[in-house]
Chain A
Amino acid sequence: MISLQRVTKRLGGQVVVDDVSLLIAAGTTHVLLGSSGSGKSTILRLILGLLQPDAGEVKVDADTERPSRSIGYVVQEGALYPHLTVARNVALAARAEGWEDARQRTRLRALAELAGLDGELLDRYPAELSGGQRQRVGLMRALMLDPPILLLDEPLGALDPITRAELQTQLVRIFGELRKTVVLVTHDVREAFVFGAGITLLNHGRVVQHGTFADLARRPASPFVAEFLRAQAPPPEMTREL
């Protein structure tokens, strides 16, 4: 379970997260939706403990001594270490935990299978992979220690539409299989629709509306919500043509 109660965070003299409350039940997938600069990434950093709130409280069911065991973190383009092979990148957290090589290898194979990554790629360096492959490696690395919580910050942001759609479907399947508490950040309304049972729409660091996609579409809390959804919807003529 993840809970934020009336959390406020200032960065560089500016309120970036403004009185945000959020409750995410264990085992569910939740989407933080909002345009760029609305404070989504900062909320993930608060959950990760990389930042401390200026006001309010962040509570996470996690091993406070070793958060790496409890929370996996995936970011855009993977943020892989260029000097390490894929296998080394993925196994970093396990190495820090002192896992034996054999155990690391077994886990690597299982993760490659889960993430749909060709096993041959494990010995390559990140620069030798495609964007989609790097994203899969980033996911594998986050899952190495099998943490109950998974945070994803625009994981598909840098991908071309086809790879994006393909990975989207696979992620939905993986989240279903793993039954983890997932928080996914996106600015893309359609991605929110595909993933999210629960959606939180943010604007300028404030929560505009909590709810399902249907709630947001049918009962927008403010004109901003309707405008945000409409701005990203394809025009009706285009939908007809397709």
Chain B
Amino acid sequence: MKATLVLVALCATALWPSPAPSQPSAIRVGSKSFTESYILGEIVAQIIDGAGEARPERRFGLGGTGIVYGAIASGDIDVYAEYTGTIAQAILKTPAVTSVEPLRAALAPLGLTLSGPLGFENTYALAVRRDAAQRLQLRSISDLAKHPTLRAAFDPGFLERPDGWPGLKAHYGLAFADVRIMEHALTYPALANGRVDVIDVFSTDGQLARLDLVLLDDDRRFFPPYAAVLLARRAVAERFPRTWAELQGRLVGRIDTATMTRLNALADLDRRPFADVAATFLGDTARAPRAARSGRELLTPGRELVTLTVEHLELVVIAVAVAMLLGVPLGILAARRPRLAQVELMGVGVLQTIPALALLAFMIPLFGIGTVPALVALCLYALLPIVRNTHAGLASLDPRLVEMTTVLGLTGWRRLAWIELPLASVTIMAGIKTSAVLTVGTATLAAFIGGGGYGTLIVTGLALNDVATILRGAIPSAVLALAIHAAFEGLDRLVIPRPLRGGP
């Protein structure tokens, strides 16, 4: 198994020069895959561009904290917007440390640094309707304890996390008449329609700007502070001092909660491109920011489709080709050595049970982010059907036909190339076809680690909760899967000897 991993890695790196060292004058800006993070990434990129010291390179939509932090730790990105609470809990595992100074000190040995707080917090909060707030005199969370007849709807995450409802309930001694679990997006209409009275929100949620809601003050300090900051590689901050100063000057203390909420609403509710939203903010806070030149967002839909299709095809074709080059020999090896086969098939099978996102995340420390780790992960995923079918195809050949090869003096490669592989070709090709079609789907996850392809739209669409954008990625992906299937049916005619092909 280890050997397989090493082989795959070697092969992938041989095919693809190791993560292209970005050009010396580029600063790589990352983001997680939710609206606020995209907007802050875009703002940072535009400021870098304006400072003129280095070119910004956008690596947005890199999944959650694990992936984007992995990327900055391994030097694949240089800066992104993070929250103090996340840094303390998820990254440094020191939940008690909450203010910027000690966090910055703790990050220094890791080669990282922090900006000052940007001015807003994105933390859990409880929201109520303004009319209810006035009627019941609700200003803070403690006020809720006096009204046990209220009904609440909470997101499943909030309901289960110790720093969510369970902790909050104990901390404030709260009790509600009814607590429902609801998908986060649905809690807003439920609150607006008066079906519930209290919901959990993120404090900068764009919806808050549009619905007439009141956020209750966390007067007894339960929620840990999630102040937004920029997390950056120290070397980069030192290398481009003017840019770093400009970022701090234009952002630290400049984005209050109301501003961030409004920006989120522009993207989430008005469907404005992230680059526009960022430019709006920069236009508000300073004169004449340079025009936004955000790569993907300004493409026409046609160009976008072509670019994404090329990226996606590249991922699928290379991953499946490498998986074939490795998988067929591995399958042959397994068929030759029944005892090795056990271990090998189990190893490839275990790979398949790793959730695709986790496998992608494992790739980051090894290969960074972008196309290479995506290819390696996809290739590992593509292996199983190929290895298994090659092994099964060869192991199930009529033993009399195999025995006859020896009698006829066919040994080594002749036996394989003239007899065994052609006889097993139907099964082997079926495995390759399965693998290719699966890979088209799995490749949409590559966008989570900056691998590009149709997944870029799906990830963005998920962040915006925008079905149309998700479909712009999902539909071409389904079409591509069908096209790949058809292409392989064609390949069958070339590879499988006529008498072995089914049908008329």
Contacts and interface: CB of A to CB of B under 8 A. Distances in A.
Nearest to B398: A79
B499 A127 contact: yes
A141 B408 contact: yes
Given A92-B418, A96-B414, A125-B499, A81 B409 contact: no
B409 A67 contact: yes
B500 interface: yes
A81 B406 contact: no
A79 B409 contact: no
B407 interface: yes
Nearest to B402: A79
A221 B401 CA distance: 38
B166 interface: no
Interface string B462-504: 0000000000000000000000000000000000011110000
Contact of B407 (A73, A84, A125, A126): A73
A139 interface: no
Interface string A41-61: 000000010100000000000
Nearest to A142: B407
A50 B406 contact: yes
Contacts of A126: 499
B403 A68 contact: no
Nearest to B403: A50
A107 interface: no
B405 to A, nearest CB: 8
B410 A79 contact: no
Given A69-B409, A73-B407, A81 B419 contact: yes
A97 interface: yes
Nearest to A76: B400
A125 B404 CA distance: 18
Contacts of A141: 408
B499 A73 contact: no
Contacts of A96: 408-410, 414
Contacts of B497: 83-84
B500 A71 contact: no
Q: Is the interface of B mostly helix, strand, loop or mixed?
A: helix
Interface string B409-431: 11000100011001100000000
Sort A-B residue pairs by CB-CB distance and give the 6 closest, nearest first: A68-B409, A83-B497, A125-B499, A93-B408, A73-B407, A79-B400
Contacts of A95: 418
Contacts of B419: 81
A82 interface: yes
A50 B400 CA distance: 12
A82 B498 CA distance: 10
Given A50-B403, A73-B404, A82 B410 contact: no
Contacts of B418: 92, 95
A57 B409 CA distance: 23
Nearest to A75: B400
A82 B398 CA distance: 11
Nearest to B423: A83
Nearest to B500: A83
Nearest to B499: A125
A97 B414 CA distance: 11
Interface in A101-147: 125-127, 141
Contacts of A125: 498-499
Contacts of A240: none
Given A66-B409, A82-B499, 5 more contacts: A68-B407, A71-B407, A75-B404, A81-B419, A93-B409
Interface in B381-409: 398, 400-401, 403-404, 406-409
Interface string A130-173: 00000000000100000000000000000000000000000000
A50 B407 contact: yes
B500 A82 contact: yes
Interface string B178-214: 0000000000000000000000000000000000000
B423 to A, nearest CB: 6
Contacts of A92: 408, 410, 418
A134 to B, nearest CB: 13
A66 B411 CA distance: 11
Contact of B401 (A69, A81, A127): A81
B420 to A, nearest CB: 10
A83 B400 contact: no
B388 to A, nearest CB: 22
Contacts of A82: 423, 499-500
B384 to A, nearest CB: 26
Contacts of B403: 50
Contacts of A93: 408-410
A125 B408 CA distance: 19
Contacts of B498: 125
A36 B286 CA distance: 97
25 contacts: A50-B403, A50-B406, A66-B409, A69-B409, A75-B400, A75-B404, A79-B398, A79-B400, A79-B404, A81-B419, A81-B423, A82-B499, A83-B500, A84-B497, A92-B410, A92-B418, A93-B408, A93-B409, A93-B410, A95-B418, A96-B409, A96-B410, A97-B409, A126-B499, A127-B499
